[in-house]
Amino acid sequence: MRIFFVTSNEAKFREASLVLKEFGIDLMINRGYRKVEIQSDNLEDIVNNALQFICGDNSSDYFVVEDDGLFINRLNGFPGPYSSYVYKTIGLIGILKLMSGVDDRTAYFKSVVGLCGPKVGIKLFSGVVYGRIAMEPRGGTEGGFGFDPIFIPEGYDKTFAELGIDIKNKLSHRARAFRPWAIGY
Ligand code: IMP
């Protein structure tokens, strides 16, 4: 049985692969597919839709798709499902500007992971990690990707980028979505 993670994000692939290794699962990447992403306010709809394009090709392979968002409470959940676009446009500095002078810096990451394959229809799993937005980017990009340099998980004083992949993988939204997935599929 082969399991392919359909993603163009190698950092996500690396993190998910390490989590699944704990369960003896060897994750592969893409098998020629691309994630087709509809515009929606709902991560579950985005994943469901992306899987419709991939599943049911009569092979014995399984496919996984993930969609995430960073939800900032004081900004009513912005950027949420638009995180990827916001990261590419206004970036970390743009988010920090929007948060300038704001006391309530609480935020969370949410991941929705979907699986489909010969013996399962589409199954969705989700994971959340609560935390807060840092005052400035810390940790650079070597220790993480995306919003990692400005996200401090609850119970820590360091950003995900400073904490590095081993600690991030113990508590991240992605790890929390992939672990029950690994047990449940
Ligand atoms: P998408 O699920 O590929 O649409 O990604 C959403 C965006 O959220 C990504 O482009 C990243 O900027 C951000 N993101 C998702 N997961 C993480 C994470 O684990 N750390 C930091 N940023 C993330």
Query: What is the reported pLDDT for 182?
Result: 81
* Two tokens, residue 170: 């113990």
Identify the pLDDT of residue 129.
98
Q: Which of 68, 78, 108, 173 to mutate to test the pocket of ligand 1 (most atoms within 8 A of CB)?
A: 68
Query: Nearest-CA neighbor of 115 among 180, 32, 18?
Result: 180
145 lines ligand 1 (CB under 6 A): yes
* Mean per-residue pLDDT pooled into runs of 10, the chain (185 residues): 92 95 92 85 95 82 95 98 96 97 98 90 95 94 84 98 95 95 76
Residue of 84, 110, 126, 141 best suited for mutating to test ligand 1, as the one with most atoms within 8 Å of CB = 84
- Domain definitions of the chain by residue range: 3-184
Distance from C-alpha of 185 to C-alpha of 183, rounded to nearest angstrom: 6
The pLDDT value given to residue 53: 87
> Contact at 8 Å (CB) between 69 and 91?
no
Q: Pick from 176, 39, 166: which is nearest to 113 by CA?
A: 176
Catalytic residue among 45, 57, 67, 103: 67
| Residue 142 confidence (pLDDT) | 66
> Collapsing DSSP states into helix, strand and coil, what is residue 149?
helix
Closest C-alpha residue for ligand 1 atom 3? 67
Range 3-184 classified under CATH 3.60.15.10: no
pLDDT at 37: 85
CA dist list (Å): 133 to 72, 129, 165: 8, 13, 19
- Alpha-helical (H) ranges within 58-106 are 83-89, 91-98
Is residue 67 part of the annotated active site? The answer reads yes
Q: Assess whether the C-beta atom of 87 lies below 6 angstroms from ligand 1.
A: yes
In this prediction, residue 86 carries a pLDDT of 97
For ligand 1, the distance from its centroid to the CA atom of residue 101, given in whole angstroms, is 25
Write the residue with the smallest CA distance to atom 13 of ligand 1.
146
Tokens representing residue 104 in the block: 């309530």
Tell me how far the alpha carbon of residue 64 lies from the centroid of ligand 1, in angstroms. Answer: 16
